[in-house]
Amino acid sequence: MTVTVIDKITPKNSAFTGLIDDDQIIFTDITDGDSSALAHGFLPRLSDDATEFLNGEGDWVAVSGGSGAGASTFLDLTDTPDSYTSYSGQMVIVNSDEDGLEFIPIASGVPVTTAENDFMIGDDSPGTWVTKTLAETKTILGVTGGGLAWEIITANQTAEVNHGYIANKGTLSTLLLPATAAVNDIVRVSGMGAGGWIITQNASGVIHFGNKDTTVGVGGSLASVHIRDAVELICCVENNEWSVISSVGNLTVV
């Protein structure tokens, strides 16, 4: 921006004394630059130095603190490590003094895919990694579920844990609960055939359905009333006791 130069300030009244009021000043204004004294007021003469700026006292001064370009890489920051050497594969965290960043090894127990359906899990030796299958990884991490295998059945059979069945018989489909089941194992049944379905029990077996319980042992059962009735059971006591956690229809409890 070009600062306007004021050619002269001439009092309108040559006999005035004391202070000059605004209406006593005539400006001869140069308007061929980027600024105007009438529009912008008086400005100090520019220093002709692109690195200097006008401070609050009206002086042109250089701004300290470098070129102002900022950091271009992570290592250029003032609160980070100054090298990547020997930190391959590590992660960044806030340090214990909470005043900077540092590299640390990735914590054990974090799964990293190495091949289809395989994972790497840190074992008891820090920094040592061993290959685990998907099933082993889920066990170590305490992960349950992962989806049930479903099948359409047209004959009576014994259920498998963590399995879903679509009963499709013209007559009643009988599904016997598994004799061996761990806590959190699931069995699901959904109706499709006109005959409906019935879930029967082993000795000492029982199904809890809200405030109702089936008869303990082989005489107890849970059955559909309509074709599309469905139920989901979870094992709550190893091998013997199951709870209904979701259902469709008014099921028959015996």
- Claim to verify: residue 170 and residue 220 sit in the same structural domain: yes
Dihedral in degrees, nearest 10, Cα atoms 80, 83, 88, 94 = -10
- Claim to verify: residue 31 and residue 51 sit in the same structural domain: yes
Residue 188 lies in a domain: yes
Residue 189 lies in a domain: yes
| pLDDT reported for residue 40 | 53
Give burial (CB, 10 Å; 0-12/13-18/19+) of 247: middle
Residue 2 lies in a domain: no
Give burial (CB, 10 Å; 0-12/13-18/19+) of 237: middle
| pLDDT reported for residue 152 | 92
Separation CA 7–CA 153 (nearest Å): 104
- Claim to verify: residue 235 and residue 170 sit in the same structural domain: yes
- Claim to verify: residue 136 and residue 190 sit in the same structural domain: no
Residue 127 lies in a domain: yes
- Claim to verify: residue 51 and residue 85 sit in the same structural domain: no
| pLDDT reported for residue 55 | 76
Its domain, for residue 54, covers 9-62
- Claim to verify: residue 198 and residue 221 sit in the same structural domain: yes
For the chain (254 residues), the mean pLDDT of every run of 10, in chain order, is: 46 54 53 54 65 75 62 76 82 82 69 52 52 61 66 92 92 94 93 94 94 94 94 94 94 94
What are the percentages of helix, strand and coil residues in the chain, rounded to 5?
Answer: 5, 35, 60
The CA–CA distances, whole Å, from 237 to 27, 79, 206, 240 equal 98, 55, 10, 6
Domain count within the chain: 4
Residue 88 lies in a domain: yes
